[in-house]
């Protein structure tokens, strides 16, 4: 038997709408059969048809595959189960909501073989949607005003980066630095990447590698996602995995609240005026960005970004506040 070169790990839970598209995009990476590989589906006790769809589809394929159980249901245990059962020299863990462009994995391997200081290489991420509101959410998540200077979402050039989305990793490094922290509900990759960087490794983004990510398709699910991202952010703040930009929404809204509170308590209108000007300036920047999106894309519905982007930031900030409060209590 040929030695497995690549292990593709997909951690899933209730992903019946997306999982088969993801698997098919992975299969296209290996057309021609020159690169021995295997597929590991790690199922977190899905309550929909995710598992049955995978089992039915995979019965007819010719490559190595297995479906593993993840009784803890969350991502970190799922990734660990997949990595520990992986036989490949390299591992990649695409999201079930994603599809990989042609040649993604091979380009990643080529980069790793060429640059020995790199532990993982990822590509650019293009957000896509499946309905009306999803299209608006996609625009918000692709905007620097919406998500900041996230390199894999907004970057276009190859180079060293802080993190790698859907990275192709050297499998051996996990034996050296350990596996994902299963106590973390979110931001497990930030924690892992910081440990890898502390061990002397670097991350790289190859602009020739592209992946599509299907975003949330309702405003409520987007805001809930932003709240949870902020809620679990403080769990990794002592690891060195975060930068100031991760706390930007919380700092911004907290500063405005403090200005308003000081003004109200002291009676000094200058503080209230300062907070008002700051908030209005923020809304103006978002307004300009929303209008540019409408004009460039010729989609008037993008005017809803005027409310969606502040809503994202507010929910993220509130989540961070509750996360910090819990951390202080503990």
What is the per-residue pLDDT for 231? 94
CATH 3.90.550.10 residue ranges of the chain are 6-217
Name the CA dihedral angle for 122, 128, 134, 137, rounded to a multiple of 10 degrees: 50
Six-digit token pair at 258? Answer: 């403090």
Nearest to 233 by CA among 211, 214, 248: 248
* Alpha helices in 94-142, H assignment, sequence order: 104-114, 132-141
What is the per-residue pLDDT for 154? 47
| Contact criterion met (CB below 8 Å) for 175 and 167 | no
Per-residue pLDDT of the chain (330 residues), as tens digits, is 468 999 999 999 999 999 999 999 999 999 887 889 999 999 999 999 999 999 999 999 999 999 999 999 999 999 999 999 999 999 999 999 999 999 999 999 999 999 999 999 999 888 888 899 999 999 998 888 888 766 555 456 889 988 888 999 999 999 889 999 998 888 898 899 999 999 999 999 999 999 998 888 899 999 999 999 999 998 888 777 777 888 999 999 999 999 999 999 998 899 999 999 999 999 999 999 999 999 999 999 999 999 999 999 999 999 999 999 988 887
Q: What is the 3-state secondary structure (H, E, C) of 202-255?
A: EEEEEEEEEEEEECCCCHHHHHHHHHHHHHCHHHHCCCCCCCHHHHHHHHHHHH
Instruction: Give me the residue label for tokens 């038997």.
Output: 1
Name the CA dihedral angle for 169, 172, 174, 177, rounded to a multiple of 10 degrees: -120
- Residues 6+ positions from 108 with CB-CB distance below 8 Å: 90, 92, 121, 122, 123, 167, 168, 206, 209
Domain covering 6-217 in this structure, CATH number: 3.90.550.10
């Amino acid at each position: 038997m040929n030695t497995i070169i690549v292990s593709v790990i997909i951690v899933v839970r209730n992903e019946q709408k997306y999982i088969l598209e993801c698997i098919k995009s992975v299969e296209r990476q290996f057309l021609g059969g020159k690169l021995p590989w295997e597929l590991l589906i790690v199922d977190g006790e899905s309550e929909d048809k995710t598992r049955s769809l995978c089992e039915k589809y995979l019965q007819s394929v010719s490559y190595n595959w297995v479906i593993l159980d993840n009784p803890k249901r969350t991502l970190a245990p799922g990734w660990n189960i997949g990595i520990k059962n992986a036989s490949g020299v390299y591992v990649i863990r695409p999201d079930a909501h994603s599809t990989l462009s042609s040649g993604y994995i091979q380009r990643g391997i080529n980069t790793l073989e060429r640059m020995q200081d790199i532990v993982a290489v990822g590509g650019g991420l293009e957000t896509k949607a499946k309905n009306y509101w999803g299209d608006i959410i996609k625009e918000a998540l692709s905007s620097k005003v919406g998500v900041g200077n996230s390199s894999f979402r907004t970057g276009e050039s190859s180079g060293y980066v802080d993190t790698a989305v859907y990275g192709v990793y050297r499998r051996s490094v996990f034996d050296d630095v350990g596996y994902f922290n299963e106590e973390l509900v979110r931001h497990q990759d930030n924690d892992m990447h910081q440990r890898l960087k502390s061990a002397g490794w670097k991350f790289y983004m190859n602009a020739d590698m592209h992946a599509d990510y299907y975003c949330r398709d309702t405003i409520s699910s987007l805001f809930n996602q932003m709240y949870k991202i902020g809620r679990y952010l403080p769990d990794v703040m002592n690891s060195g995995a975060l930068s100031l930009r991760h706390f930007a929404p919380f700092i911004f809204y907290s500063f405005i609240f403090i200005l308003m509170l000081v003004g109200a308590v002291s009676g000094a209108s200058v503080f209230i005026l300062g907070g008002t000007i700051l908030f209005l300036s923020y809304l103006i920047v978002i307004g300009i960005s929303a209008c540019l999106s409408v004009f460039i894309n010729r989609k008037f519905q993008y005017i809803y970004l005027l409310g969606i982007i502040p809503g994202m930031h507010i929910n993220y900030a509130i989540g961070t506040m509750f996360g910090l409060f819990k951390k202080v209590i503990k």
